Amino acid sequence: MVKQLVFTLALLVTIGFFGFTTYRFINYFKFTKPAFPVRDLGKRLWVMMDVAIGQTKIFRQPVMGFFHALVFWGFCVIAIGSIEMIFDGLFGTERFLEFLGPVYNLISASADIFGLLVGISIIIFISRRLFFHIKRFEGIEMKPVSHKDANLALVMILALMVSLLSMNMAYYAGIQQSGKSLAGIYPVSSLLAGFLAGVEPARLGVIYEISWWSHILLIFIFANILPYSKHFHVFMSVPNVFLSRLEPLGKLPNMDSVMKEVQMMLDPNASLSAESTDVPVERFGIKDAEDVTWKNYLDSLACTECGRCTSVCPANLTGKRLSPRKIIMDVRARMKEKGPGLIKNGRLFSDHKSLVRDFISEEELWACTTCNACARECPININHPILIVDMRRYLVLEEASAPGGIKAVFTNIENNGAPWQFSMEDRLLWAQNIELRIA
């Protein structure tokens, strides 16, 4: 009974803190702008199963992609066992899902095997970070705290796998000594249980309880640390992929306010049926955190900081300052900085800083070639160019700020109706001396 009370208290504290964090993020989302209607649910489900569950983009780097996929799939299977532990803790049962029979055998065996595979994968990940210089793990946006955050999360995952296996080992050894029926199948732990041969039943019970509590409390702590770390993608990657843009990568969304103006110019009658034409536009493009869409902000929360986007960016590879990963991380950092002020004082709150220039320079924005290599490579379907182009739109439409070459193109289009510095009267001069012969 005492165990149930202590567990219930720990669970309530976990849910309460997680609920507070979730509420804070929901409030931040309230200050973002609409993105696109969520339609084609069947197609979205297919994309989610392919990219998020199947981890297909991860396998573009076959070796490390395989180990990362093992960790993801392992978490999916082990999560079922974690749910069972919550029921056991609340109701004082043991192996609550045992009634599932053969299905439970499959679940327990899979979790036991993945416990070992995930542990091995995490050791490889930690070794790479500590002893190998992986270029894409570095960058101006990757502060020391980013590396510490990643290492802490990996160590906690490793501890979770160790506690899971030690719990299963103690359970299996105890059952073998007592002669009771075994609930589930444990291929790995049954082999490792040999290390506990000869240990007294009472001591096995202590090992089991310590392992059980260590595992479940680590889960509770980890769940509440994740939203404040790069590993928030454990929660956010699957919904982010489900909510991906379904259009081709090269297609940039038009600005509705500008489209309405163009339609009215081309068809005066369109003004009679246009909706909300009398509502002033707050801002063209993106200047600060409250100008981004909910999808832009969701992308920033889901970002794994893996650096695959930056590693394939042609601008970055040629020495320019642009790092697509930094652009996404800056959106998250800016909302974290300004969000509390927006919640307290409303959308008009200003701290005399902005996402553009204070976090992201014009040099970075204009270095992008919109080739979409970053979006194609991202394992969770983040679309960086759309965000970058919207910040460019702010610079051009609100501040008339652009590189000299682009300003010349704008001037030529305005004066000559074409990007080139030739008047409309001179366009056909090139064809004056061409003879046309009709056979």
Whole-angstrom Cα distance, residue 265 to residue 83? Answer: 60
Q: What is the pLDDT of residue 279?
A: 53
Please, what sign has the CA dihedral across residues 183, 184, 185, 186? Answer: negative
Token duo for residue 44? 């979205």
Q: Where are the domains of the chain?
A: 2-30+61-235, 256-402, 403-439
Q: What is the pLDDT of residue 229?
A: 86
Whole-angstrom Cα distance, residue 308 to residue 285? Answer: 26
Whole-angstrom Cα distance, residue 216 to residue 10? Answer: 10
Whole-angstrom Cα distance, residue 210 to residue 197? Answer: 18
Q: What is the pLDDT of residue 427?
A: 76
Tell me the helices (H) and strands (E) count for the chain, helix number first. Answer: 18, 0
Q: What is the pLDDT of residue 271?
A: 58
Query: By C-alpha distance, which of 85, 81, 158, 171 is closest to 116?
Result: 158
| SS3 of 246-263 | CCCCCCCCCCHHHHHHHH
Cα 187-189-192 angle, rounded to 5 deg: 115
Q: What is the pLDDT of residue 274?
A: 47
Q: What is the pLDDT of residue 90?
A: 93
Query: By C-alpha distance, which of 303, 243, 233, 185 is closest to 75?
Result: 233
Whole-angstrom Cα distance, residue 83 to residue 78? Answer: 9
Query: Do 164 and 78 touch, CB atoms closer than 8 A?
Result: yes
Please report the DSSP string for 117-131 in residue order.
HHHHHHHHHHHHHHH
What residues in the chain have per-residue pLDDT under 50?
272, 274, 276
Token duo for residue 250? 């090269």
Q: What is the pLDDT of residue 231?
A: 84
Cβ atoms within 10 A of the Cβ of 212, count?
22
What's the chain's length in residues? Answer: 439
Q: What is the pLDDT of residue 270?
A: 63
Query: Do 222 and 158 touch, CB atoms closer than 8 A?
Result: no
Check: CATH 1.10.1060 for 256-402? yes
